[in-house]
Every structure is written in C-alpha cells, then in structure tokens.
Structure 1
C-alpha cells in the first residue's frame, strides 16, 4: 500500500473513531524519523467550548508513558543497571505499606506487570491531584494487600510510579532526563 493510501485510510479511520466515541477532540500524526507525513486535528479542546484542537494542543499521554518506562527499564536490565528480580526495598528502603513483610517481597518486575499484590487503583483518587510522588509515597501505608506479589494482576498507577525513583537511584539520572538521554545515545554513554 502506498504511503498516500495509508495516510488517507488512517485519517478516515481516525475521523470515524472520534465520531463514534464522542471524543471532544484529538490530534493524529504519522511520522518518520525524518519528517511528519501527516498531521490532522479534529474537534475541540473541551466539550462545550469553541477552542479547537490544533497542532500545539497538549494532551495527557496517560498510560502510554508506561510503555516507554518499561522499555527503559528493560534496557537498564540488559545493561545490568537494574535487576528485575530485585526487591523494590533495595532501591527504596524508605517505602512502607501496612503489611511490612509484603513490601519486602515486591520486586521490580511486579511493579512493571501490575502484580505487586496491592489493591487495584490504590491511592488513585490522589494520583491526579497537584501533589508530588513523595506525598503519594507517604500515603502508601494506607494501601492494602490483596494477594502475594506475582500471583494476581491489579492495575496500579501509583504503585507503577515507584519505578521512577528506582530508575533515578539505579542510574543516577531523574527519569525525565534519562528518557531524553536514552533517546539520543546508546545505553553505554548514559552510565
């Protein structure tokens, strides 16, 4: 299929998805490493308002950031900087939850796979408040254990977020800086 047909089909599908899902607005781009092949915007920034989405509109990336974070941790694991089998307490000794023994059994791989054993959506109501990760961490003792680590899937935004300070401690770079570096250089030049 030619690139032009691909772009036309993608744009048509995007418009249909927006219409059927009642999305207020989106921006859709098809890019290569060298150029933007297509950039289309649809709809408004907020329902009920006439401020249209444009190429400068900022969107929350939500859980898409988990993909990049997991890929980075995989690279760090391959480079022997982070061990997926390590308990999170090795990197974050100050972390506490209500079950003191449980926290000692949670491994990095459990954070990435949502198998920490902490109840689904724990602390979720605070996750979107303008508070720091450290403030969320301070509330971890209010979470409850529902299974052993690695035994059951419990989707967790806040618990997954613990990977950021683990990356920072293991690599000596804050997550945001490390993601910028990893995008530009080989893993060897970042350590």
Structure 2
C-alpha cells in the first residue's frame, strides 16, 4: 500500500529545494565569474590565492546555511580586485540573480562617505573639522546651551555630540521628517559634554550634511556625485529614495518568516538622513570605493586625507554591541565616520557595519596589510557580522602559516 504524505510536506520540500537553488548563480554566470577570479588570482601570490579560495568557500557555506536570499562580496589585495562575486537572488523565489551591478542599500556604510566628503572639503579649505554646527544650521539647539555652543563638525562625525545613543532613530522608522526631529532635540537631556563620549547617532550625524550643504550651496547627494561617485566611476551609486525605487536592477529587502525570508518593498525610512544611511550602491561601486579607501586613487583621495579621516578621535565603549564579534581587540576607536580597530595581533582595521530595513552590509580593510573586504546582503542575517572578523582572523592565520613555511630550513641534498 502506497504511503500518503500531507500536502504541506510536499510544499515545504519543494520550496525548501527551490529557495536553496536560487541562491546559486546561473552556470553561465558562474563560469564567467570563475574565469574572472582565476584571471585576477594570477596577479596574486599563490598563498593569497589559496586563502581567497578557502574564504570564499567558507562565506558561501555561511550564506547558504542561513538562507540569505542575495549577497555580493568584493576583496581587494594591494591595488587588485582579488575577488568580486554576486550570490543568490534579488528577491527570494524570483529567479532573478544578483549581478555585479545589482543595487543594495549600504545603510550606515553611508557614514564613511560622509566623513570622507567632509575631509575633502576640509582639505580644500572650504571648512574645518572645528566648524561650529550652529553657524550653518539655522535654529539648531540642544537642551544644553554649552553643548549647542561647542558642537563642532568633528563631534558630529565621531558621535560625540553628548546626546544619548540613537537619539530619535526610532522616529525615522515612523516616517517623521528630519526637520521635525531636529526641532525635538532641545527636549532631550544630554549625557556628556561634546567631544568626550561615543554615543552612536543617525539623526545628529546628519547635521554634517547640513553643514556641507550650507557651505557649498549644493545638495548632499550632488556633493557625493561630484566628489566621490563620479570621479571614482561608481555608476550605479546614488543617495536618494526615488532613484532606488525606480531602478530596475535592485536587490529587494527581506524580512524573516517561519519558512526563511520573504521579499518586501524598498521603504523610504532613513532616506531622511542620507549622510547617515541613504547611499545605494552595487558591489562594482563598492569595490571601487574600497580601492580608493586603501590608497589606490590618490588623485581623488589623498593619503593625507585618509590619515585625517581615519585618525582615532574617541574610544568606543568596550561593551558596545558592534564589537561583539571582534574578539581580543587591543583597542577600538571612532574617527570621522569610521571605526578604527586594533586586533589582538596588532593589525589596524578600518571598519563600518550597517543595517537598515532588510539590508545588512559591512566594509573593513587594513592599510597596513593592504587587504580589504566589503559584503552586501538583502536580508537581516548573522553571517555578515561573523564573516568580516573571520576574514581577518583567517588572513592573519594564513600569513603566519606562510611565514612559518618560509622560515623552515630546507634539507640539503647529499
């Protein structure tokens, strides 16, 4: 007698298989990417090529096990794109693959663009790190007159405004306009004087954009296009909701459901604070950005500018949850829109993570080791938070193993 299985079981098995399959690129795309990876690997030393191969396998497994619908990764070594690869689908069940030009929201990785743009204007003499905020933002006021008077651009960019952590970030998800939220700041008790304590912000961080708009007479989005996106050839990048909403090649955000993930629409939330969380970009764009951050485009981003933006300005509290996956850190600081971490091995890593409404992203690199990675995903997940610290742990282990092999005395033949 033939066994009868509930219809629900077939549905679960069918869709479970289907969701795993769409996470893989087409055979043609996979073959093309493998060729590109092999071609780039030929420019690298064999040990690093092996490290990349091992890490990619590790990353692929993590993404697949968690069922992340879509992702894209780029790894830079010296001035070479050692790996650039998309994974999965733009939306779960769609069958439309992520490619090198699929656009993601990069969330708080936007803050790094803001810090660098401010540095460019400082370098050109248009403003200074000590620029008083209230001189450029009409009516700006905090509850503390001292904090209002003393607040400078560098305090905004380093999250040392004196406001409590994430002041009014929740209102951004409720559709409250940025100007309205600014008008509510005088009702908030400050916790510290300016410049002394790191309390992460989104609303207050965006004051940096207001300062730059006032000085330049241009919109923040136009400043990004003129000084960063355009010069670096970031052709898919933008900094507004409408461009993302109307684009055809977009990785849709996802939310968790019992069966895994379900696609949702791109929301306007947090586009009110573009300097904090409003940049959209493809992995092709972010690879170019990462190359510039690592000093490979000095005609656009000079070494002196990088030194200013990445200077440790304030210590990050050790109990800050953003550090939880970075084990054994010697120190953790925040600069001008960037975290500066020192690993237990003594390597300095410049880093930022981001999450907004169904998108999760992270970027990190070592100027000392001349290596960096950026990872974009279109769903809330744990993989990103673990995979980036693991990249540097595995890289340093690989370096140590190679050093040990190189130092091992060779047997002489008789």
TM-score bucket of the superposed structures, by smaller chain: 0.7 to 0.9
Indicate whether 1:54 and 2:98 are aligned: yes
Further displaced range: 135-144 or 175-184? 135-144
Within a 5 Å distance, the mapping from 1:125-136 to structure 2 comes to: 125-136=170-181
Partners of 2:40 and 2:83 within 8 A in 1: no
How far 1:37 moved relative to its partner?
A: 7.6
Indicate whether 1:117 and 2:154 are aligned: no
Q: Say which structure, 1 or 2, has more relative contact order (CA 8 Å, 6+ apart).
A: 2
Structure 1 unaligned segments of length 5 or more: list them.
none
Partner of 1:102: 147
> Does the C-alpha gap of structure 1 residues 13 and 80 become closer, same or farther in structure 2, counting only changes over 3 Å?
farther
Partners of 1:123 and 1:143 within 8 A in 2: no
Partners of 2:147 and 2:161 within 8 A in 1: no
Mapped to 2, the partners of 1:38 and 1:9 lie a distance apart of: 12
- SS in structure 2 at match of 1:63: helix
> Does the C-alpha gap of structure 1 residues 21 and 74 become closer, same or farther in structure 2, counting only changes over 3 Å?
farther
Further displaced range: 109-118 or 122-131? 122-131
> Does the C-alpha gap of structure 1 residues 74 and 44 become closer, same or farther in structure 2, counting only changes over 3 Å?
same
Partners of 1:14 and 1:28 within 8 A in 2: no
Partner of 2:40: 3
Mapped to 2, the partners of 1:63 and 1:164 lie a distance apart of: 14
Mapped to 2, the partners of 1:14 and 1:147 lie a distance apart of: 41
State the Cα deviation string for residues 24-64 of structure 1 (Å, max 9, x = none): 43122468xxxx88653334556xx4235522643221111
> Does the C-alpha gap of structure 1 residues 3 and 80 become closer, same or farther in structure 2, counting only changes over 3 Å?
same
Larger-Rg structure: 2
Alignment RMSD, CA only?
Answer: 3.2
TM-score, with structure 1 as normaliser: 0.78
How far 1:7 moved relative to its partner?
A: 6.0
Structure 2 unaligned segments of length 5 or more: list them.
1-37, 42-48, 233-298, 301-414
Structure with the larger strand share: 2
- SS in structure 1 at match of 2:205: helix
